[in-house]
Amino acid sequence: MIDIKLIRENPKRYKDAAAAKGFKVDIDKLLRIDSELRKNRNRLQEIATEKNRIGKSIPKLDGENRKSALSELGELKKEEGKLNEQIRSLDPGFEKIMQQVAQPADDDVPFGKDDTENVEIRKWGGIRRFDFEPKDHVQLGLDLDIIDIERGVKLAGTRNYFLKGDGALLHWAVLRFAMDGIIAKGYVPLAVPMLMRDEVMMGTGFFPGAEDQTYQMEKDNLNLAGTAEVPLTAYHKGELLTQDRLPLKYVALSTCFRREAGAAGKDTHGLYRIHQFDKVEQVVIGENDEEQSKQYHTEILANAEEIMQALELPYRVVNVCTGDLGRGQVQKYDIEAWMPSRNSYGETHSASRFYEFQARRMNLRYKTAKKKNVFCHTLNNTVIASPRILIPILELNQNADGSVNIPVALQRYMNGKRKIAAVL
């Protein structure tokens, strides 16, 4: 959420921000409601002052003067009731529009309509050229008996799967490797709940906007979160922290759930876009300092790149354009791994910076050394997500005989095994 004072000062900035990100929000209507609310609340303060003055004078009055004072007090109470009723009727509309206001992107974010206009920053690793006809991960998984999409679909519908034998072990190996790496950097591991209340989804910025992509448990008023970003970022929701505790750096390994509504016919092949997956997520809660937040953004991006390099997976980093940013993100960098079956880079990580957008929604603050309460800044990034990351691991490490070499970094997590081969 944005500070209403900033919107009052420069409404055009927030109109432009919404347009650049592709969101619709009526800033003019918001400011009309805000003006009416402020007028009513100012009048309530005046009435409170008048009531206090009259209340103190009544014991000293008698006769007609006392009667007149009591009558005036009654009229003030009637006006007070009407004003409170008006405020109650205006507040929901005000809050609804405030939830829709988009945070302006930082100046170095490229302007663009969607992910086709994201700007490449750098690449790492060379793209493998095969001297044989390579298989995609689905065929490799079938031949090696490590991926079973057919039974996944039979039991759970489209975009579901089983990982089997060495496929399951490879999946767990990459997650354990990522967890060990990020914990070694001082991030505190949390085992988190993934059933979240609406207020938490709103606090982290997923509602309004992502309701169609969320599995909602209407009977229990809970939602299956699509990422551990939600519980990690909201861990201190409503709390007043002390400055000396910041930054707080957390990591969680969780199962994630996404409906992928509206994605029919898009990335439907194999393990790229699925309803359920596991992800290691890193979150930083820091001070209200934009330069410091940018440094943390560099850090969490580097953490993920280090994992990719250790796995020897070629990738590129892109600066995400305005039209591909979320409502609260001021900047986002995606890491995209090279995937031979797609003959292109595919997104595997998203590193986002929010400034105080999420913290303001969640009332997450800290007390400065000068005893001032201010909102925290929040950031998050994927460390690794599987089984999507298995696509480049399997495809880039395949051999002509159909076997797959296990990345050196993962071999110790697979009891020293170096290769996955078909069982004859």
Residue 165 sits at φ, ψ, to 5 deg, of 55, -125
CA distance 365 to 223: 25
Write down the H helix ranges in 257-372: 290-310, 357-362
**Catalytic site residue from 273, 290, 306, 316:** 273
The two structure tokens encoding residue 311: 């796995």
CA distance 367 to 306: 34
**Catalytic site residue from 159, 258, 353, 365:** 258
Is residue 420 within 8 A of residue 146, CB to CB? The reply is yes
CA distance 144 to 204: 41
CA distance 280 to 176: 9
**Catalytic site residue from 305, 347, 356, 395:** 347
Which of the 8 DSSP states describes residue 398?
A: B
Which of the 8 DSSP states describes residue 376?
A: -
388 is annotated as an active-site residue? yes
Is residue 270 within 8 A of residue 391, CB to CB? The reply is yes
CA distance 231 to 249: 13
347 is annotated as an active-site residue? yes
Residue 255 sits at φ, ψ, to 5 deg, of -80, 140
316 is annotated as an active-site residue? no
Inter-axis angle of helices 290-310 and 166-183, nearest 10:
140
**Catalytic site residue from 254, 350, 352, 386:** 350
Q: Exposure pattern of 28-54 as b/e (b: 16+ CB <10 Å)?
A: eebbebbeebeebeeeeeebeeeeeeb
Which of the 8 DSSP states describes residue 115?
A: G
The two structure tokens encoding residue 405: 């070499």
Annotated catalytic residues are 258, 273, 347, 350, 388
